[in-house]
Amino acid sequence: MDKISYRTLIFLLLCISSCSDNDITSAFKALYLSKYAVEFPQNNAQYRNCINKPLPNCQLLIEKVQEGRNQLESLGSERAIRTAFRYINQYCPSGENRDEELCKGAIISFYFYNDDADDSLIRTLFSELSPIIQSEIFSQSSYEWFHNRQSTTPWIEIIENIPDEHMSRIYKDSTIRSIQSGVNNELRGIALID
């Protein structure tokens, strides 16, 4: 997926701004920006530069992503996780209902739910998804939530059990290596606002 253009970014920010504070849709769209907006900082140096310069577009993006996180936190972790899976089921399958922002924003939200109870709930709900949607959740090996798990073993077992026709052996191996690599010493994307 390419980075989104400045014009698209402005449109998304206007859309997010017009949504009510309680609208979970705006939260997922905001989290999407943390990975796909060109001006969102992707490492510590860019984050410091954004804060210290100041760079208005970058700071606006950080604020929107933080607001999205706050909206999710206001739901409580179980409700936010269940809502994320509802959005994943609704917006990740290919077809006319597919919505990249809502699908990927919901997946990105897993970053914030890494304690044992939350991770267990995520794995349980994940197991109820179709294999096609399961492979979608692992479609971006650079998702920061992979590196924010207290235990990677259950996730590796889950990946191993996704049918090969939905996730190739090569991609499984690559994703498992990514998960096993642990937390990157340099924070990236959504991890910058944690």
Chain mean position to CA 25 = 13
Is this structure's pTM higher than 0.75? yes
Q: What is the pLDDT of residues 16-47, one digit of tens each?
A: 444 443 479 999 999 999 888 888 888 888 88
Residue owning tokens 């009510």: 20
Element (H, E) at 9: helix 6-18
Specify the long-range contacts of residues 9-13, CB closer than 8 Å, at least 24 apart: 9/33, 9/37, 9/38, 9/39, 9/57, 9/61, 12/37, 12/101, 13/60, 13/61, 13/64
Q: Which of these ranges, 8-17, 55-64, 87-96, 118-127, has the smallest mean pLDDT?
A: 8-17
Three-state SS for 67?
helix
